[in-house]
Amino acid sequence: MLIVQKFGGTSVGDLERIQNVANRVSKTVKKGNSVVVVVSAMSGETNKLVGYAEHFSKNPSRAEMDMLLSSGERVTASLLSIALQEMGHSAVAMTGRKAGILTDKHHTKARIEDINPDHMNSALADGKIVVVAGFQGVNEQGDVTTLGRGGSDLSAVAIAGALKADLCEIYTDVSGIFTTDPRIEPKARKLDRISYDEMLELASLGAKVLQNRSVEMAKKLNVNLVTRTSFSDEEGTLITKEENIMEKPLVSGIALDRNQARISLMGVKDRPGIASDIFNALARAEVNVDMIIQNKAHDETTNIDFTVTVGDLNDAKRVVDSFASSGEIKADSYNEDICKVSVVGVGMKSHAGVAAKAFLTMANENININMIATSEIKISMVIDEKYAELAVKSLHNAYELDK
């Protein structure tokens, strides 16, 4: 098999851990696999460099930041290659440039546009372990770019796609994807497999293991993604296409997002296009609106409720105030003490009654549901934040996710 293994900052946090990574790569190679390793900077290193830059400027040039920050991954990649060579393996360290990672021109948050895998392929054909500095590529001008948050995961997935690797393993400090946050529900169970779409829902609903960008790219490139821990031999969770999951569970997991705020607009003037005007103004202010409810009041006005992330709340307030001062909104209120609980599962596509069970569970616990949104594979409910843990535990139990 051809396997891409990606190790994050904590997995290569010191020299001893880099040696552990080398041992793990070595073991994978000795089982007869070809391996491409993608590494992040040693944990703390990137923050140190950012701190250096901020000593000089609050708003340092992005091109310079890329030249600065890309150095951290180069260090880890060359050290890991040296460690593998010392163990008797044939290995070669490559920068993002050498690995053929071409990006657009947006410094510090570049998108991978193409991968030219020639150098990697010829090294693999020579029987070498390829060690790639993650998080970085080059733009059309040949300047170093970095890929932003979660960038090394993206490097790994894109490389796995370009090389048509059998597996892309993302090593972190957690052992996989769980049916829910084990800190809330200790009976949470690690999933063996999960579909891309479920993972996307879980990631956007607050599961911190993988960034949506990486899962989206894995889905697009059809990369079998495994997330597992580098601190033990425990098997992780395979993220793959739905067809590869034999027994589709009705529900795969319960997600909780505490980072929500609700905005209620009352007495909105009922003229055509008023909702469109409000939400366009919010979009221009770069406020991401999540759930929306609109209902006619008894008079000739409308009530509109919507949710945003807590971080966007102030920007949203400013937009709402401008409509209020023009008299098109009579009153508005804000509530940060809410959360969003979501039930995710591909099985609900083909099974009725999944949503009904969620509502019944909330009712049995006397939890009032403020807002509801559903998709093919997800039911989201906005509830008072004080019920967050209770809701998660009850739903986890109701769908028998600990079994």
* Binding of residue 55 to a copy of itself (CB under 8 A): yes
For the beta carbon of residue 294, count every other beta carbon within 10 angstroms: 13
* Binding of residue 83 to a copy of itself (CB under 8 A): yes
Instruction: Sketch the per residue contact string, 88 through 107, with a copy of itself: x for CB under 8 A, - otherwise.
Output: ----xx-x-xx---------
d(CA 115, CA 382): 42
Tell me how far CA of residue 260 lies from CA of 13, 48, 54, 317, in angstroms: 33, 31, 31, 14
* Binding of residue 15 to a copy of itself (CB under 8 A): yes
* Binding of residue 18 to a copy of itself (CB under 8 A): yes
Q: How far is CA 203 from the centre of its chain?
A: 5
The binder of a copy of itself chosen from 20, 43, 104, 143 (CB under 8 A): 143
Q: Which run of H or of E encompasses 168?
A: strand 167-172
144 Rama sector, left if φ>0, alpha if ψ -120 to 50, beta otherwise: beta
* Binding of residue 19 to a copy of itself (CB under 8 A): yes
* Binding of residue 142 to a copy of itself (CB under 8 A): yes
**In this chain, which stretch among 141-149, 155-163, 208-216, 325-333 interacts with a copy of itself, using CB under 8 A?**
141-149
SS3 136: strand
CB 218 within 8 A of CB 209: no
The binder of a copy of itself chosen from 27, 44, 47, 52 (CB under 8 A): 52
* Binding of residue 60 to a copy of itself (CB under 8 A): yes
Residue count, binding to a copy of itself (CB under 8 A): 38
Cβ distance to a copy of itself smaller for residue 82 or 390: 82
DSSP conformational letter for 57: -
* Binding of residue 214 to a copy of itself (CB under 8 A): no
Cβ distance to a copy of itself smaller for residue 90 or 294: 90
Q: What is the DSSP string of 73-132?
A: HHHHHHHHHHHHHHTT--EEEE-TTTTTEEE-S-TTS--EEEE--HHHHHHHHTTPEEEE
* Site residues for a copy of itself per CB under 8 A: 15, 18-19, 22, 49, 52-53, 55-57, 60-61, 63-65, 67-68, 70-72, 74-75, 77-79, 81-83, 85-86, 92-93, 95, 97-98, 142-144
